[in-house]
A and B are shown apart, each in its own frame.
Chain A
Amino acid sequence: MKASEMTTKTLDKRMAARDVVASLRDGMTIGIGGWGPRRKPMALVREILRSDLRDLTIVAYGGADVGMLCAAGKVRKLVFAFVSLDAIPLEPWFRKARESGRIEVLELDEGMFQWGLKAAAFGLPFLPTRVGLGTDLAELGGLRTVQSPYEDGETLIAMPALKLDAALIHANRSDWRGNVHLFGPDSYYDEWFARAAAKTYVSCEELVDRMEDHHPGDAHFNIVERCFVSGVVHMPCGAHPSSMPPAYGWDMKAFKAYADAAKDPGDWAAVADRFVGASEQAYLESIGGKEAVAALPLPIF
């Protein structure tokens, strides 16, 4: 018997999107990977929007994921540094939620945010940083300071761990066991969302049974190890309308329609069906199918 044939049992973390959402509970703290309008696990977000989940604390470098969840009344508290769709700088549904005073917030600097994820990943109560000193962040966020115990005696902000009950990320490729590959120019802080979370659910463009049999040469794209992945959902086009390089760019036409709807009619309940759909299949069909998504050009900065 050859060594390659010795593995008889294959770990299998495949799930359906509805089972991912069924494993989440009201009041949970959920981290969402990606950055603004880029590589967002939107299909999983849409599945949350189709569910009864509520009172969530959302932790994200925010884009339409945050806007939609705020608009749908799913968010009790938001942990953020920005919410933006890049070419549409101000996320209109997020603005509406903020200006209505409906959501509680913890506003952070982008760097403090990833520092908080790292503190959570390492099981630390906080990590020290200079960032935040001299601004309104500490006072508004109730962030405390610590003093260096060494000779310098420096006073630093204690950035609290951003512990996540669950994290959602969208990967270019995964196998059944949760060996993920993330391509594209930037994977942002997806790996730290995964390490900061009790459970991480990955949706992916491409799913294979055993990574080593299909793509052994791409192992350096495995930026987070499978022990941090609890479930894998095969979800082609799952980042739409955000970008997922190299597979497809963002759908600015869809973002614009979504942004316009915040003004007219301005009521999420009236337009949710257009931006969420009754099912992921119905949603994909409504935007022209996989071919239309594959044809979206990569964004130019």
Chain B
Amino acid sequence: MTDITLAELCIFACSEAFRGNGEIIATGVGPVPRLAAGLAKLTHSPELLMTDGEAYLVEQPVPIGPRGYDDRKAAGHLPFSRFFDSAVWTGRRHAMVTPTQLDRFGQINLSYLGGSHAQPRTQMLGVRGFPGNTIYHPNSFFFPAHSPRVFVPGEVDMVSGVGYNPAKRVAGGNYAGVDLRRIVTNLCVMDFGGENADGNRAIRVVSLHPGVSFDEVQAATGFPLERGEIIETPLPDAQALEIIAALDPHGIRAGVIKDNPPARRP
């Protein structure tokens, strides 16, 4: 089992986020989250809906990377023109994404870094659909390089997604849909099941990848982490590895984490 890569372990860990979600749209943005959603559908959660990455709903997850245009077999249609009506604003979706920053409240940013909103130092994508996603449906996150630049001290530069920050909550708003689930990184798996000194939700470590210590994770994080009942992150089984390989025939997953290390540190 020495040839299992850390990327494959992360895909397996990410796929667990989609377990038991019911008939919702599983959206994985980026190779690892997308492979994870496909793996979940082909193993424990066949009821998941997903798209081909464009506008068609597929029952067979579409492999990532170059392929024939018509390889996907459409079972349904979910274009952007219906996406808010059907998936986002009805709460029937779970997205796994990689924002640029995430803070101790689970607030995320992909709009800009530094400077001001009027004149950012580094302009990024813009908030995209994050404000709506985070107030309406479950969200999880994958980060290939766990560091304090991602898990920032203080707050993110621009709050593009709703977190568990009481100071940000306009009185009278309905935040019942805010549901931040799982954070998978190259070091560990975390969730929002902790509680800080103020009684608010806090991020806690729930599993460490083989050979990683809590202290190493804490040192790579810009805010204090809680400790859950920490286990070792499980390795993917043979069936999972076979499905991952089939969904990623070009080996794109090998380029996600720096140097493509093995799952178990040598």
Residues of A in contact with B (beta carbons under 8 Å apart)? 35, 62, 80-84, 89-90, 94-95, 98-101, 104-105, 107-112, 114-115, 130-138, 140, 145, 147, 153-156, 185-189, 191, 297-298, 300-301
Most chain A CB within 10 A, of B111, B171, B177, is at B111
Q: Which residues of A contact B162 (CB under 8 A)?
A: 133-135
Contacts of B77 in A (CB 8 A): 185
User: For the complex, what is the distance from the CA of A52 to the CA of B124, rounded to whole Å?
Assistant: 30
A130 touches B135 (CB 8 A): yes
Q: Shortest Cβ distance from B8 into chain A, in angstroms?
A: 23
Chain B 186-207 against A: per-residue CB contact (8 Å), 1 yes, 0 no?
0000000000000000000000
Number of A-B contacts (CB under 8 A): 148
Find chain A residues with CB under 8 A from B130 CB: 109, 135
Interface 1/0s, chain B 70-107, versus A by CB < 8 A? Answer: 00000001011100100011000000000000000001
| Beta-carbon contacts under 8 Å, B101-151 to A | 107, 111-112, 115, 117-132, 134-136
User: Size of chain B's interface in residues, with CB distance under 8 A?
Assistant: 55
B128 touches A82 (CB 8 A): yes
18 chain-A/chain-B pairs, Cβ below 8 angstroms: A83-B125, A98-B112, A99-B120, A107-B111, A109-B127, A109-B128, A133-B169, A135-B107, A135-B134, A137-B127, A137-B131, A154-B173, A154-B174, A155-B173, A185-B56, A191-B81, A298-B69, A300-B67
Contact of A300 among B66, B134, B165 (CB under 8 A): B66
Q: Known contacts A99-B115, A100-B119, A109-B130; can you find 17 more A-B pairs with CB under 8 A?
A: A81-B128, A90-B123, A98-B112, A98-B119, A112-B131, A130-B177, A131-B135, A131-B136, A133-B135, A133-B175, A134-B165, A135-B162, A136-B160, A137-B131, A145-B172, A185-B54, A300-B69
Whether the pair A110, B135 counts as a contact (CB closer than 8 A) is no
In the assembled complex, the Cα of A135 lies from the Cα of B177 at a distance in Å of 14
Task: Please name all residues of chain A whose beta carbon is closer than 8 Å to the beta carbon of B163 when the two chains form the complex.
Answer: 134
The answer to whether B168 touches A188 (Cβ under 8 A) is: no
Flag if B125 contacts A90 (CB, 8 Å): yes
Name the 9 nearest CB pairs between A and B, nearest first.
A301-B53, A101-B119, A155-B172, A134-B162, A185-B55, A186-B79, A82-B126, A98-B123, A109-B131
Considering the complex, give the chain A residue whose CB is closest to the CB of B34.
Answer: A301
User: Of B67, B80, B129, B159, which is within 8 A of A136 by CB?
Assistant: B159
The residues of B that contact A98 with a CB separation of less than 8 Å are: 112, 119-120, 123
Q: Most chain-B Cβ atoms within 10 A of its Cβ — which of A111, A112, A135, A145?
A: A135
Residues of B10-53 whose CB lies within 8 A of A: 52-53
Q: Is the CB of B172 within 8 A of A95?
A: no
Contact in complex: B117, A109 (CB < 8 Å): no
The complex places the Cα of A154 from the Cα of B178 at a distance, in Å, of 16
Q: Which residues of A contact B55 (CB under 8 A)?
A: 185-186
Contact of A134 with B159 in the complex, beta carbons under 8 Å:
yes
Contact A94 B79 (CB under 8 A): no
Cα distance A134–B156 when bound, in Å? Answer: 13
B243 within 8 A of A: no
Quote the shortest CB–CB distance from B249 to chain A (angstroms). Answer: 13
A138 to B173: give the CA distance in the assembly, Å.
13
Q: Which residues of B contact A62 (CB under 8 A)?
A: 126
Most B Cβ at <10 Å: residue of A89, A111, A115: A111
For residue B158, CB closer than 8 A to chain A, the reply is: yes
Can you name the residue of chain B whose Cβ is closest to the Cβ of A191?
Answer: B81
Tell me whether B161 is interfacial, beta carbon within 8 Å: yes
